[in-house]
């Protein structure tokens, strides 16, 4: 019979406070990968909707080609949990730093390669095959990236400041949405999304530009050291063979794994609706211009960055659970208001709906950078945090996008999608109710 292993509360984190230069390197190193990860997620979704059917599946026709393009978008979700297990094993055994360098290089190089990949008109059927392969490798890398970044931040944090340190992986995700929207806005204003130039080369610009982010991220991560928590655990390790982290986390903390996955499901469902679905819905169903919705997305992203950071910092004072709980409840309520509000077709109403939704996501999402790692023991923390995070992304984030069209086409209309969001968020609230507060929990105990 499995027994849930919980680490008792005690003073958290390393006692010493790193110097300012070290803190800056830690913050940048933990933020760089998630920025690239979500930047790719957002630009790929936009490019798949606008142009990938024409570039990689030209012989399949408009609708079928578009479906095939979105199929390549979904490949990442299939491989993310696999990447969590693979890189969680490496990170729990060999360390956080080297795993983060590996995931960054894999993820970033694939993003740039997509931007340079010739279309079907040039290399035929090899083009979509290579696209799927690149997406699969990206999925593996993405599966290992967030947990490593969150652990790198939280395990380097001094006492009582893990929320403040772990805000950077969370801010990276929201910052990426602003960068992606701004990049496509510039392309749209410069050459237009329907022009031949956009189909030929314009869509490639956001992918190739990610090389700048990769260079900065790699330079920063190479200049950091391993986290003190992992170093201490490795030094205390005996020669006795240890269990496989994936098996160990399910044997020792199965309840935590299931509850943490349920917690993230509602949050990720809200993120997918806000960052992917509403952009398409506003242009195709509400008649808003692409530039108009992208401006709203940028404003909402700025608000999300600020609220995400504030929620993470406040979680050091008030605890993780109260802030995540407030965010999930507020999101559940707002999801019922969202579609009736934006269906008025008023630009002000659409802007209010999107910006408030993004801001409330920041309230729930900000503390998770510290909260999920604090739930798991050091020996399998990378695996536990990463797998629960990515399973929630698959079930909530991908699941609601797959259900969006059938729900919107039902007799209830788009409000059915809002009801689905509310149900998933209430599941998150129920799972959160079964999880403990972890603000004062030690990360050094096995």
pLDDT per residue over 76-85, tens digit each?
888 889 999 9
- Cα separation, 362 vs 424, whole angstroms: 17
Give the pLDDT band of residue 403 (cuts 50, 70, 90).
confident
Q: From the CB of residue 98, how many other CB atoms can be counted at a distance below 10 Å? A: 14
Report d(CA 367, CA 246) in Å as an integer. Answer: 24
CB-CB contact of 253 with 384 (8 Å): yes
For position 12, what pLDDT does the model report?
A: 41
Segment 341-346 long-range contacts (CB within 8 Å, at least 24 positions apart): 342/278, 342/281, 342/282, 342/286, 343/286, 343/414, 345/286, 345/287
* Local confidence band at 7 (pLDDT 50, 70, 90 cut-offs): very low
pTM of the model: 0.86
Please write the tens of the pLDDT for every residue from 146-189: 888 898 888 888 878 999 999 999 999 888 888 888 888 888 78
* Between 41 and 364, the higher pLDDT residue: 364
Answer whether 412's CB lies under 8 Å from 419's CB.
Answer: yes
The average pLDDT across 198-209 equals: 85
**pLDDT tier for residue 104 given thresholds of 50, 70 and 90:** confident
Residue 16 has pLDDT above 60, yes or no: no
Name which residue leads in pLDDT, 14 or 45: 45
Specify the residue for token string 């990968």. 33
Structure tokens, 196: 């031949």
Lowest mean pLDDT segment, chosen from 68-72, 118-122, 181-185: 68-72
Name the pLDDT band for 242 (thresholds 50, 70, 90): low
149: number of CA atoms within 13 Å, CB side? 33
> Which of 73, 275, 264 minimizes the C-alpha distance to 174?
275
Distance (Å, whole) CA 1 – CA 6: 16
What's the pLDDT at 431?
97
Cα–Cα distances in angstroms (integers) from residue 44 to residues 41, 70, 123, 200, 293, in the given order: 5, 9, 21, 16, 17
- Residue 68 CA to residue 87 CA, distance in Å, equals 29
């Amino acid at each position: 019979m499995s027994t849930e292993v919980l680490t008792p509360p005690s003073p958290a984190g390393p006692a010493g406070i790193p110097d300012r230069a070290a803190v800056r390197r830690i913050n940048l190193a933990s933020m760089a990968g998630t920025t690239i990860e979500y930047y790719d997620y957002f630009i790929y979704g936009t490019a798949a909707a606008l142009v990938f059917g024409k570039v990689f599946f030209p012989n399949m026709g408009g609708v079928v080609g578009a479906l095939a393009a979105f199929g390549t978008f979904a490949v990442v979700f299939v491989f993310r949990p696999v990447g969590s297990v693979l890189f969680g094993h490496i990170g729990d055994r060999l360390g956080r730093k080297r795993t983060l360098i590996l995931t960054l290089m894999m993820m970033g190089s694939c993003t740039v390669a997509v931007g340079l990949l010739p279309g079907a008109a040039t290399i035929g059927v090899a083009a979509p095959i290579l696209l799927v392969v690149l997406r699969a490798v990206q999925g593996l890398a993405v599966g290992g990236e967030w947990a490593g970044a969150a652990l790198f931040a939280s395990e380097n944090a001094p006492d009582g400041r893990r929320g403040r340190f772990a805000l950077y992986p969370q801010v990276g995700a929201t910052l990426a949405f602003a960068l992606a929207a701004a990049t496509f806005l510039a392309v749209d204003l410069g050459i237009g999304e329907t022009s031949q130039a956009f189909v030929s080369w314009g869509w490639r610009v956001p992918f190739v530009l990610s090389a700048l982010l990769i260079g900065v991220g790699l330079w920063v991560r190479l200049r950091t050291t391993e986290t003190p928590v992992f170093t201490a655990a490795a030094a205390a390790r005996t020669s006795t063979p240890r269990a496989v982290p994936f098996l160990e986390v399910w044997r020792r903390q199965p309840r935590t794994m299931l509850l943490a996955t349920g917690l993230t499901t509602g949050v990720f469902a809200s993120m997918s609706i806000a960052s992917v679905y509403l952009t398409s819905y506003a242009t195709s169903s509400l008649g808003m211009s692409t530039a108009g919705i992208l401006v709203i997305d940028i404003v909402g992203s700025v608000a999300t960055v600020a609220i995400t950071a504030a929620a993470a910092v406040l979680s050091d004072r008030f605890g993780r659970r109260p802030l995540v709980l407030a965010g999930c409840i507020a999101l559940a309520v707002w999801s019922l208001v969202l579609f009736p509000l934006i269906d008025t077709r008023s630009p002000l109403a659409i802007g209010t709906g999107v910006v408030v939704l993004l801001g409330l996501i920041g309230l729930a999402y900000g503390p998770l950078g510290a909260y999920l790692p604090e739930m798991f023991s050091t020996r399998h923390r990378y695996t536990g945090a990463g797998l629960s995070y990515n399973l929630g992304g698959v079930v909530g984030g991908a699941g609601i996008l797959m259900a969006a069209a059938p729900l919107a086409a039902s007799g209830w209309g788009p409000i059915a999608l809002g009801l689905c969001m509310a149900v998933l968020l209430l599941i998150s609230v129920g799972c959160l109710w079964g999880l403990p507060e972890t603000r004062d929990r030690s990360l050094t105990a096995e």
